[in-house]
Chain A
Amino acid sequence: MDAWWQCEVPYPFVPQEVLNATDSVRASLPNRYCDPKVAADLFEEVIDEFLLCDDLGLNVLAVEHHAGINSLLGANPLLVGILARQTRHVRLLSLGTLISLRKDPVRVAEEYATADVISRGRLEIGFVKSGGTEMASNNANPVNNIERYWEAIDLIKKALSHHDGPFSWEGKHFTHRHVNIWPRPWQQPHPRMWSATGDPETAAEVGRRGMVHVLVLRGPRAPSAPMPRIARRAPRPACPR
């Protein structure tokens, strides 16, 4: 069993009367209520905790949420980059860049390959579809989110594992005429991949692809209980690592 530490860097300093009056604290609360000095202190504290985990041998996990008080980690790759350099021993899981929100998966592949190299092979890549508030604040169409999700993962995987010069991608959601990332990742063929999901169809696909399944629970009524079983049952190729 592996143990992982995470902190989402919430921002608990907005006055209660402001929170009571706003329609959403996860997308629409004006950022004037975010004091950058307080945010800097929060980041410093949380990153110190991550570094303590490195001393203690506890793996670390960096999430991503956007535009709300529940988490200041809108820019997951930045934290992953810091952790890749500042930690020395433990594994790092990015869970993750919200891949269906990012316009350019090739850039995501570059970020991950770079973090994997800086950390000398300690990166694990998690993919997350994101939810309603994040779709709104990132201008992402919710209807074809799943299509985008898998196409982005396919493109990232190829960008990480293709080493024979530029290739071109003309997909439904992404086109990229010249993909040839440097550096390539430390881990071959690519860092282990995780996928977070709360629906049975995606869980089965996660299993088929041999990715690590992350169960997302959404409250007591969410129909999530059988999901790990579905992921385990799906026929799968050999795990890449």
Chain B
Amino acid sequence: MSAGDLVGGIDLEVLRRGAGRPVLLLHGAQTVDPRAPFLEMLGRHAEIIAPSHPGFGRSARPADFETVYDLVHFYLDFLDALPHEKATLMGFSFGGWLAAELAVKCRHRLDGLVLVDAFGIKVSDRETPDILDVFNTSPQEVQRRSWHDPATWAPDLDALSDDELVVRARNWEALCLYGWNPYMYNPQLKRWLRRINVPTLVLWGASDGIVKPSYGRIYSSLIPQARFELIERAGHHPEIEQARAFVDMVVKFLNR
């Protein structure tokens, strides 16, 4: 974990792991835990670059930086600053929304896209929400619907240190700021997904109760070169619940 990267004038926390093909990883509601086993496994095949979005983790957020529009343009800066000509872009959950937006805008800098239980589009009718509103659902229910096996994987907040709790509070506040309304989607994005002209892997936890696999299948169908894959016995975070299966699928995609 390193802090102090300066991108677009913003002091950024960036986690780097492994070596190989560059993978820019955009996290979801929580920043990537440096102890997460999938990092070590994937790091044997790829150079993982995982910034914390401005406002999340230990990354700064300027006072007037408060929309997904800002985040997307910030990551365009980030891509410009990468030494690699092309990178694979991977986004989890909320970060999947950002990855899809970036792939629409900056496809020439990407050689692949991986969306994992991604947010970002509106699929169902106006009276049927696609994505569980985590700000309007009891924390217990959010945890129950986040995991295939909540008893094993739901975090024990009482066991976290003060620093870790502060990071979670920052993450929660930033997510709320960026994703409040419309809730976790850009009404215009769906129309432009057809611009994504790089090979795309859409991965989904079969037991995801935050945003269902049926949504992922539609998402995938809107991206011309996308392939959809389910990860069994995983909820919204397959990279955590089924790290091995997740990494195998990503590596297979990287080595295609």
Contact = CB atoms under 8 A, between A and B. Distances in A.
B141 interface: no
B136 A171 contact: no
Decide if the interface of chain B is mainly helix, strand, loop or mixed: loop
26 contacts: A158-B127, A166-B136, A167-B127, A168-B129, A169-B126, A169-B127, A170-B122, A170-B126, A170-B127, A170-B129, A170-B182, A170-B183, A170-B185, A171-B126, A172-B126, A172-B187, A175-B181, A175-B182, A175-B183, A177-B129, A177-B133, A177-B135, A177-B136, A177-B183, A178-B133, A178-B136
Contacts of B183: 170, 175, 177
Contacts of A177: 129, 133, 135-136, 181, 183
Interface residues of A, number: 11
Interface of A: 158, 166-172, 175, 177-178
Contacts, number: 29
Interface residues of B, number: 12
Contacts of B133: 168, 177-178
Given A177-B136, A178-B136, A168 B182 contact: no
Contacts of A172: 126, 187
Contacts of A168: 127, 129, 133
A168 B133 CA distance: 10
Contacts of B127: 158, 167-170
A177 B185 CA distance: 13
User: Which of A167, A169, A171, A175 has the most C-beta atoms of chain B within 10 angstroms of its own C-beta?
Assistant: A175
Nearest to A171: B126
A61 to B, nearest CB: 32
Nearest to B130: A170
